[in-house]
């Protein structure tokens, strides 16, 4: 599955990584939020540019020209 760093619902995320929703919310999510690797949005959890940097990947947000906005 590829979400391109966009928001993903908790149930979709749980299925994708093979974990229970409660485990993600109670164990993984607090750590990832503290490290600045994910953010919670009204539409779901989203990877931050720091997450892509940590993984050595190009951030989809980096491809957007800030001058356009």
Confidence of residue 2 (pLDDT cuts 50, 70, 90): low
Strands (E), 1-69: 38-41, 44-47
Span 10-68, pLDDT tens digits: 999 999 999 999 999 999 999 999 999 999 999 999 999 999 899 998 887 554 445 54
Task: Give residues with Cβ within 8 angstroms of 32, minimum separation 6.
Answer: 38, 51
Spatial separation of the C-alpha atoms in residues 40 and 48, rounded to whole Å: 10
CA distance 19 to 11: 10
Contact 50, 56 (CB under 8 A): no
């Amino acid at each position: 599955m590829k979400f391109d760093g966009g928001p993903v619902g908790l149930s979709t995320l749980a299925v994708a990584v093979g974990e229970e929703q409660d485990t993600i919310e109670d164990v993984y999510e607090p750590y990832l939020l503290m490290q600045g690797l994910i953010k919670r949005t009204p539409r779901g959890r989203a990877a931050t540019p720091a997450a892509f940097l940590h993984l050595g990947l190009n951030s989809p947000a980096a491809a957007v020209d800030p001058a356009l906005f």
